[in-house]
């Protein structure tokens, strides 16, 4: 079972916009526990993503249902450039894959990027700048701002030697995943299957000028009474809506 991001809003689906390198993006963020409508939206979208005519990463609707039922995912994220129907999407999992401790502890857990896929919409038009960069930035900022973890991780499959080489170079040079478990045995090596390389992006820095995730820590709606203790005969009830 994965740990959850902090969320006291009472909501589990969020949408909004943010700007990165002069480009405006839209996002959809789903956090457990999903209601039936949100659950169906996540299953349908992530279970039907196609790249070059094939289901992305073999991630079907049935697998998505298992993810949700077993609480394996901490966040589901969809990003697109405003005005474009091309999307980059993926999931995050807060989990202790590495310590060897049978008891899951948040202090030992890291945030893992999973299920990344870039797909074209009905228009078939690809943007000039890949939305994957915006997706990763969104994931990094959620990680550092929400649970104060200063690094983020991902797995690279080693079955395809060419693919392994290409992906590790892309993630290193383009997206800042400069550490990996081949060059450094201290990078999450204990419980990791040898079929994968673990890559780490360290030293994440919070940047609320890109996107501010403090909205996850604000209750939506509700009332509070304030009492004037010095003069009970003039006690007033103050009401407001927190946003």
Residue 37 CA from chain centroid, whole number:
20
pLDDT at 183: 82
Inform me whether the pLDDT recorded for 138 exceeds 50.
yes
pLDDT at 222: 52
Q: Encoding tokens for residue 232?
A: 């009970």
Residues 42-73: tens digit of each pLDDT: 999 999 999 888 999 999 999 999 999 999 99
Average confidence (pLDDT) over 110-124: 95
Are 201 and 151 contacting, i.e. CB atoms less than 8 angstroms apart? yes
Average confidence (pLDDT) over 29-37: 97
Tell me which residue of 151, 80, 180, 67 sits closest to 115, measured CA to CA: 67
pLDDT band at 192, cuts 50/70/90?
low
pLDDT at 164: 80
Highest mean pLDDT of the ranges 13-22, 154-163, 183-192: 13-22
Separation between Cα atoms, residue 152 and residue 112, nearest integer Å: 6
Write down the pTM of the prediction: 0.87
Give me the residue label for tokens 């078939």. 124
pLDDT band at 98, cuts 50/70/90?
confident
Q: Tell me the β-bridge partners of 50.
A: 55
- DSSP states along the chain: -PBPPP--SS--EEEEEEEETTEEEEEEEE-SSP-HHHHHHHHHHHTS-EETTEEGGG--HHHHHHHHHTT--SEEEEEEETT---EEEEEEEEE--SS--SS--GGG-EEEEEEEEEE--TT-PPPSS-THHHHHHHHHHHHHHHS----EEEEEE-SSHHHHHHHHHHHHHTT---EETTT-TTSS-TT--TTEEEEEE------TTT--GGGGGS--S-------TT-GGG---------
pLDDT at 193: 61
157 contact partners, CB below 8 Å, separation of at least 6: 163, 164, 195, 196
Inform me whether the pLDDT recorded for 131 exceeds 80.
yes
Domains located in the chain, CATH noted: 13-218 (3.40.630)
């Amino acid at each position: 079972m994965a740990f959850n991001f902090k969320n006291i809003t009472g909501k589990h689906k969020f949408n909004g916009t943010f700007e990165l390198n002069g480009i405006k993006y839209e996002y959809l963020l789903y956090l457990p526990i999903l209601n039936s409508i949100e659950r169906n939206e996540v299953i349908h979208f992530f279970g039907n993503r196609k790249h070059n005519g094939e289901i992305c990463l073999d991630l079907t609707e049935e697998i998505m249902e298992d993810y949700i039922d077993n609480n394996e995912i901490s966040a589901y994220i969809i990003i697109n450039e405003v005005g474009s129907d091309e999307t980059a999407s993926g999931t995050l999992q807060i989990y202790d894959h590495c310590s060897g401790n049978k008891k899951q502890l948040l202090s030992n857990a890291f945030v893992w990027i999973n299920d990344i896929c870039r797909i074209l919409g009905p228009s078939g038009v690809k943007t000039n700048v890949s939305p994957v960069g915006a997706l990763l930035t969104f994931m990094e900022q959620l990680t550092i701002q929400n649970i104060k973890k200063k690094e983020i991780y991902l797995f690279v499959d080693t079955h395809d030697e060419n693919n392994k080489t290409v992906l590790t170079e892309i993630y290193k040079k383009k997206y800042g995943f400069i550490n990996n478990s081949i060059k450094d045995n201290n990078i999450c090596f204990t419980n990791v299957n040898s079929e994968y390389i673990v890559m780490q992006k360290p030293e994440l820095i919070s940047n609320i000028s890109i996107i501010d995730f403090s909205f996850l820590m604000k209750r939506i709606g509700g009332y509070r009474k304030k009492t004037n203790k010095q003069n009970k005969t003039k006690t007033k009830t103050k009401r407001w809506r927190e946003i």
